[in-house]
Amino acid sequence: MIDHQDIGLAYAVLQAEVEPLLFLARDTGLQKEALVSTERLIKRSERERIAAIMAKDERQANNRLGLTAVVRALECELQMYISLKEDRPDQAWTKLIDAQDAVSAAVRASPDFTNLPAKFQHLRKMETWFFPPQVFMSAGLIVRKQRCSICQDDYNQCDHVAGRPYMGRFCTIELRQASPDHISFVEAPADRRCRITSFSDTGGTRNRMTWVLTPGAQERGSGEAIIATSVPEMDAADPAEVA
Amino acid sequence: MTITTSAYVAVPARAAELGSIIPAGLVFLPANFESAIPGEDFRFRGEASTVTKLLAVAGIPVNRLSTGQQRPAFIHNHSHDWTLPIIFVGTELLKQSPDILSAALGVIQDYVIDLFKGVTDARTITAEVVIEDRRAQQYKRLTYEGSPEGLRELTGAIKALSRKI
């Protein structure tokens, strides 16, 4: 049986432990210890989400979907600070965007998490506090088949609506038989992980985040060619899915 | 928020050129309606599938333009903004059901606001509605770009335009 009160209390205890650590200056060791607590609560919330799905309790399942996302946001924010201090700014950026996505997901998952827009705004501001300006990209795809992530049927034929939670899971459109149509540079991408991470410069390849020049790679193109790569890791959002 | 009005191709003639007939009711036109060559697949904006479902639940049937032979393709832009499929509404429908477009846009607006809740960034929604002016034998396209909340302004612009036709 799911104990709603108990997990709420567990979340309050976790919040009290983690919130004071959500600053860059805090001790890395304490932040890593807090990650153990966030992971523990995420696992518990996930167990209870699955139990609620088995019990066909949609309200509870969606609540746990939201709770997992809220705790994931705390976890990602901690990981962002740790990555920054450990000289891994590209990973820190990814964790920041993961935290933003998790907050947004929590609000959509359940009406129990409506007080988070201020948190989202705070996380957005961190982009300019901690990181240099980024160049974002957006991909356009031509898709022949759209599959519903909930029922696995043709998305055009089923009743599920993309972006909405159903029994502890979000409906997304899985894109099949997709071919690239275009890639464009945009100011506001859907996924802020899609960005230029490096470019060719005199003497090698320059990382856009650290500005470190890695010698030797510029020979791949002419002196004025730009070599761009994007999305070093995509652990939170499948690029072939849309809400 | 901006709403612009521009001339659009003669929809039934263009549909015939592409081997199709405009069905009754609200119709989604493919994004490549103006540029496609006969035989080319129609490409609908990816949001068309979701909007079709939402409108069906609200009792507002909508049809996608089709030749009956091609399999439609969908354009998915991985961008921040949300783009409605192009909606065509003929004179007859506007006269018989003058509120159908505002009802449809209201349903879409509610969905998009819900989809973006929790995200405090400004999100832009783009909508294109093509209206037939049978008397003038012209087709007008109204293009809206702005917040989801401002979409109701498009309804007002459509009503103002439809009073003149």
Span A66-91, pLDDT tens digits: 999 999 999 999 999 999 999 999 99
Q: Report the C-alpha gap between B109 and B87 in whole angstroms.
A: 15
Q: Determine the Cα angle at A16 with ends A122 and A99, to 5°.
A: 35
Q: pLDDT band for position A242 (50/70/90)? A: low
Q: Report the C-alpha gap between A108 and A66 in whole angstroms.
A: 8
Task: For residue A23, give the DSSP letter.
Answer: S
Residue A144: how many other CB atoms lie within 10 Å: 14
Q: Give me the domain span that covers residue A148.
A: 136-242
Last residue of a domain, one of A130, A162, A182: A130
Closest C-alpha to A38, from A24, A20, A18: A18
Task: Return phi, psi of residue A63, to 5°.
Answer: -60, -45
Same domain for A110 and A203, yes or no, is: no
Pick from B73, B79, B117: CB nearest A138: B79
Q: Above 70 in pLDDT, residue A200? A: yes
Q: Report the C-alpha gap between B35 and A59 in whole angstroms.
A: 47
Cα torsion for B142, B72, A173, A185, to the nearest 10°?
Answer: -60
Q: Above 80 in pLDDT, residue A221? A: no
Residue with tokens 């607006």: B109
For chain A, which residues lie within 8 Å of any Cβ of chain B, measuring from their own Cβ? 103-104, 106-108, 116-117, 120-121, 124, 138-144, 146, 155-156, 159, 161-164, 173, 175, 178, 181, 186, 188-191, 194, 239, 242-243
Residue of A nearest to B75 (CA): A142
Domain count along chain A: 2
Pick among A62, A110, A161 to test the B interface (most B CBs inside 10 A): A161
Same domain for A13 and A126, yes or no, is: yes
Same domain for A121 and A70, yes or no, is: yes
Task: For residue A143, give the DSSP letter.
Answer: E
Report the gap between the CA of B164 and the closest CA in chain A (Å): 36
Chain B residues closer than 8 Å to A163 by CB: 114-115
Interface contact B50-A162, CB threshold 8 A: yes
Same domain for A125 and A149, yes or no, is: no
Same domain for A8 and A93, yes or no, is: yes
Same domain for A126 and A141, yes or no, is: no
Last residue of a domain, one of A79, A110, A130: A130
For chain B, which residues lie within 8 Å of any Cβ of chain A, measuring from their own Cβ? 43, 46, 49-50, 52-54, 71, 73-81, 111, 114-115, 117-121
* DSSP symbols for A201-215: ETTEEEETTT--EEE
Last residue of a domain, one of A104, A130, A156: A130
Q: What is the ipTM of this complex?
A: 0.88
Same domain for A122 and A152, yes or no, is: no
pLDDT in tens, A108-155: 999 998 888 889 999 999 999 999 999 988 888 999 999 999 999 999
pTM: 0.85
Q: Report the C-alpha gap between A99 and A79 in whole angstroms.
A: 10
- HEC assignment per residue over B4-18: EEEEECCHHHHHHHC
Q: Above 80 in pLDDT, residue B135? A: no
Same domain for A222 and A143, yes or no, is: yes
Between the CA of residue A163 and those of A63, A105, A171, B23, B46, what are the distances in Å?
16, 9, 5, 30, 13
Higher pLDDT, A238 or A93: A93
Pick from A103, A143, A243: CB nearest B73: A143
Pick among A143, A157, A193 to test the B interface (most B CBs inside 10 A): A143
Same domain for A172 and A208, yes or no, is: yes
Chain A residues closer than 8 Å to B78 by CB: 138-141, 189-191, 194, 239, 242
Same domain for A110 and A25, yes or no, is: yes
pLDDT in tens, A11-59: 999 999 999 999 999 999 999 999 999 999 999 999 999 999 999 999 9
Q: Above 50 in pLDDT, residue B50? A: yes
Interface contact A140-B77, CB threshold 8 A: yes
Q: Above 50 in pLDDT, residue A232? A: no
Same domain for A193 and A118, yes or no, is: no
CB-based contact B151:B108 (threshold 8 Å): yes
Interface contact A189-B52, CB threshold 8 A: no
